[in-house]
Amino acid sequence: MATNLSTALVPYHHHHPDTTHRRTLHFTTPFRLPTNKKRLAIFSNSSKKAPPPPAVDGEQNSPSLADQLKPLSTTTLSDQPNETQLLSKPKSTWVNPTKSKPSVLSLQRHKRSSSYSFNPQMKDLRQFAMKLNDCDESDFPSIIESIPHPPTRENALLILNTLRPWQKSLLFFNWVKAQNVFPIETIFYNVTMRSLRFGRQFHHIETLAFEMIENGIELDNITYSTIITCGKRCNLFDKAVEWFERMYKTGLMPDEVTYSAVLDVYAKLGKVEEVMRLYERGRASGWKPDSIAFAVLLKMFGEKADYDGIRYVLQEMKSIGIEPNLVVYNTLLEAMGKSGKPGLARSLFEEMVGSGIIPNEKTLTALIKIYGRARWARDALELWERMRVNSWPVDFILYNTLLSMCADLGLVDEAEKLFEGMKGSEKRKPDSWSYTAMLNIYGSGGHVEKAMFLFEEMLAKGVGLNVMGCTCLIQCLGRAKRINDLVRFFETAVKGGVTPDDRLCGCLLSVVSYCEGDDAMKVLSCLEQANPKLVAFVNLLCGGESVDFEGLKEEFKRVLSNTDVEARRPFCNCLIDICRNRGFDERAHELLYLGTIYGLYPGLHTKTKEEWRLNVRSLSVGAAHTAFEEWMGTLAKIVQRQESLPALFSANTGAGTHKFAQGLGSAFASHVEKIAAPFRETEGKSGFFVATREDLVSWVESRAPSVMT
């Protein structure tokens, strides 16, 4: 059965769908970026560019965004994309370069009404509103009767604007309506909705909106954008879209606030194509997106780890002449982090600082996180030092991110110093995140005593243990083979309210893989509480019960499809280790095969004309061993069939900078030495092993002469 893997393994890269995430932009004109290093400094030259010509016509003559989008009002977003529209670069409507583009779309923001400042009653009304803010809801009806001045339109608006809790806003709004002294205009609904949005009361907002429709009160862009963003904040994205479509149908055109709010709704729904369709429609109609719209797009492509998308947005910004501001840079750095581009993030940060923008907490949090994940210790420490020297802003999240970075980089001393400093400070006492980061450091460094001490301290200080901290400690106790302590700790944690997740299960499973006998049974009984189906599968693998490959496949599929995506490969790695450590090598090969066909090991084997490479960086020792055996078995067959082979073979275990990959390189080295395979670690490239075709072929032939004849 396991021989099937050889056919799956070798041509694997043909199946690897590594281009699927790239499709997001295929409907736009391919964009070009400079290919040299200047690309990083994409914004740095634009400051020398001439500023856009002044709008000589004056702004009041410019068509509003709504007017510009009019031609679109005949179609709604649910329409199928118009191919010709999508395939053409959104050309500016303003083709004559001598004529300036209209500087439309400056918002008509409502200024604070000047009547307020001349209102001598203002102070009284403010105080009254404060009293309403603070009062018990049941006292509201009696207090409202003591209103110091008559509820005229202006007075009512002033109070409504000062009320904070949504309950009070709603009570007051209803009271004003009942007084019936002036007609209720749109602004009253809008102000009330703002308060309701603050309290995430989508249902109440919707009720008010229907009331407006029923009473013939105009819903304007402010009303719609408030409804839409409230839906967004309440995670009622479908509702948000529904109200946007309703707005379209009434013929009211979105202005740029509504526009970016809706783009963000589609972005948060992951509907990249809808976002880009809407974006390009707007562009085609002369809309000039602003920083906020670009921040939305960058965030979306960042979430998708779509680097091409990010480049597209950068290109758009450059061509439109929008300089990134602090928020755009922050979003951009996050996006670069998510798409695995630490170098670009670093360049962008330098560009930002060079342009005179002072980084804030979010900027630094993003960058520290990126350097930690990339294991860039030098850059991380340098940045930390610059933070101190320049007195850049720091907050609690940044402190905790620094601790996590120390955990990623194994910087025990630095972390301890920072942690002690936090304990000594008044404002930033360590919380469960901080303790978790420390548990992570001690756990991955094997400092059991320190980790247990920290756990006791958490209990004493009443800092809640979370599931990640629990996972770190279990990993630590497991490695130290303190199984009785592990079981006791697990029981305590579960009783204390920790709900095991898939990572924790994966951690328990890995302890099972290197334990024997009673110890393994004890850990399995913990796992049984958290994930009985997983334990049933382990029993199926190793128990006396015979199961054929098809049965195994079905169960494997059932277990894995109920597992978080990021925990699937660790599960499979551990299961393979469990089989190998118990002598069920055949089962291990079957599991590797299953893992391969379900896409858990993308890029495991890559082939070029010159070189075939086995990439086991994300595999456990047992899984890597199994993959290597499989690879060699395949080679033996190819040699036997006298098919052509490349000149070079390589196996990449990685240098062990990642916590879970540590020891894989040395395990591989001793394995190839033991079986006398001709793989040698490359000088200066630790974790990278190569063999020539000649050496490998003669080794294969010497090893399995029976197969050759």
> What count of residues does the chain have?
709
**C-alpha distance from residue 167 to each of 54, 141, 187, 188, 494 (Å):** 47, 13, 18, 15, 38
What is the footprint of DNA within residues 335-354 (CB under 7 A)?
A: none
Paired residues of 611 in beta bridges? 648
Q: Where are the alpha helices (DSSP H) in 562-663?
A: 565-581, 585-597, 621-640
Q: Which of 55, 326, 536, 669 binds DNA (CB under 7 A)?
A: 326
Check residue 257 for interaction with DNA (CB under 7 A): yes
**C-alpha distance from residue 49 to each of 7, 45, 99, 289, 340 (Å):** 58, 7, 18, 19, 31
Tell me which residue has tokens 């204390």.
496
Torsion of CA 417, 423, 426, 428, to 10 degrees: 80
Which residue lies nearer to DNA by CB, 236 or 696? 236
Q: Which of 433, 442, 668, 688 binds DNA (CB under 7 A)?
A: 433
Which residue in 602, 674, 607 sits closest to 20, CA to CA? 602
Q: How far apart are CA 653 and CA 663, in angstroms?
A: 9
Q: Which of 206, 264, 316, 502 binds DNA (CB under 7 A)?
A: 264
Check residue 283 for interaction with DNA (CB under 7 A): no
Cα dihedral sign for 343, 345, 348, 349?
Answer: negative
Q: Which of 166, 202, 237, 259 binds DNA (CB under 7 A)?
A: 259
Q: Beta strand pairing status for 680-681 and 648-652?
A: unpaired
Binding mask of the shown chain, residues 13 to 52, with x at each position contacting DNA by CB under 7 A: ----------------------------------------
Which residue in 119, 138, 190 sits closest to 161, CA to CA? 190
Instruction: Sort 425 into a burial class: Cβ within 10 Å, 0-12 / 13-18 / 19+.
Output: exposed
Which residue lies nearer to DNA by CB, 208 or 366? 366
Q: Which of 164, 607, 671, 693 binds DNA (CB under 7 A)?
A: 164
Binding segment toward DNA, per CB under 7 A, in 253-261, 445-453, 473-481, 645-653: 253-261
List the structure tokens of 677. 């395979």
Provide, rounded to whole angstroms, the least separation between the CB of residue 313 and DNA: 12
The number of beta carbons lying within 10 Å of the beta carbon of residue 299 is 22
Which residue lies nearer to DNA by CB, 265 or 559? 265
Contact in structure between 571 and 563 (CB atoms under 8 Å): yes
Which residue lies nearer to DNA by CB, 162 or 618? 162
Which residue lies nearer to DNA by CB, 197 or 346? 197
Provide, rounded to whole angstroms, the least separation between the CB of residue 157 and DNA: 7
Check residue 327 for interaction with DNA (CB under 7 A): yes
Contacts of 150 by beta carbon, 8 Å cutoff, 6+ apart? 181
| CA angle (232 as vertex; 228, 234 as ends), nearest 5 | 120
Binding segment toward DNA, per CB under 7 A, in 17-25, 91-99, 223-231, 581-589: 223-231
Check residue 620 for interaction with DNA (CB under 7 A): no
Provide, rounded to whole angstroms, the least separation between the CB of residue 228 and DNA: 8
Q: Which of 24, 169, 201, 221 binds DNA (CB under 7 A)?
A: 221
Which residue lies nearer to DNA by CB, 387 or 672? 387
Check residue 370 for interaction with DNA (CB under 7 A): no
Check residue 62 for interaction with DNA (CB under 7 A): no
Check residue 225 for interaction with DNA (CB under 7 A): yes
Check residue 121 for interaction with DNA (CB under 7 A): no
Check residue 168 for interaction with DNA (CB under 7 A): no
Binding segment toward DNA, per CB under 7 A, in 18-26, 343-351, 357-365, 677-685: 357-365
Q: How far apart are CA 705 and CA 388, in angstroms?
A: 67
What is the footprint of DNA within residues 181-210 (CB under 7 A)?
A: 186-187, 190-191, 194
Q: Which of 48, 110, 609, 674 binds DNA (CB under 7 A)?
A: 110
Binding segment toward DNA, per CB under 7 A, in 73-81, 288-296, 575-583, 670-678: 288-296
Cα dihedral sign for 148, 153, 157, 158?
Answer: negative
Check residue 654 for interaction with DNA (CB under 7 A): no
Which residue lies nearer to DNA by CB, 219 or 575? 219
Provide, rounded to whole angstroms, the least separation between the CB of residue 265 and DNA: 9
Q: Which of 253, 292, 297, 344 binds DNA (CB under 7 A)?
A: 292
Check residue 220 for interaction with DNA (CB under 7 A): yes
Q: How far apart are CA 69 and CA 280, in angstroms?
A: 11
Which residue in 654, 647, 658 sits closest to 669, CA to CA? 654
Which residue lies nearer to DNA by CB, 377 or 588? 377
Paired residues of 614 in beta bridges? 605, 651
Q: Which of 109, 609, 641, 674 binds DNA (CB under 7 A)?
A: 109
Q: Which of 277, 299, 450, 613 binds DNA (CB under 7 A)?
A: 299
Size of the site for DNA (CB under 7 A): 67
Q: How far apart are CA 23 and CA 195, in angstroms?
A: 41
DSSP helix/strand/coil, 374: coil
Q: Which of 347, 365, 510, 531 binds DNA (CB under 7 A)?
A: 365
Check residue 528 for interaction with DNA (CB under 7 A): no
Concatenating the DSSP letter of every residue in 118-145 gives T-TTHHHHHHHHHHHHHS-GGGHHHHHT
Question: What's the DSSP call for residue 47?
Answer: G
Check residue 475 for interaction with DNA (CB under 7 A): no
- HSE-CB for 70 with a 13 A CA cutoff: 4
Binding segment toward DNA, per CB under 7 A, in 47-55, 142-150, 284-292, 600-608: 284-292
Tell me which residue has tokens 């118009």.
82
Chain residues binding DNA by CB under 7 A are 107-110, 112-113, 116, 158, 161-162, 164, 186-187, 190-191, 194, 220-222, 224-226, 229, 232, 255-261, 264, 290-293, 295-296, 299, 325-328, 330-331, 334, 360-363, 365-366, 369, 395-398, 400-401, 404, 431, 433, 436, 466-469
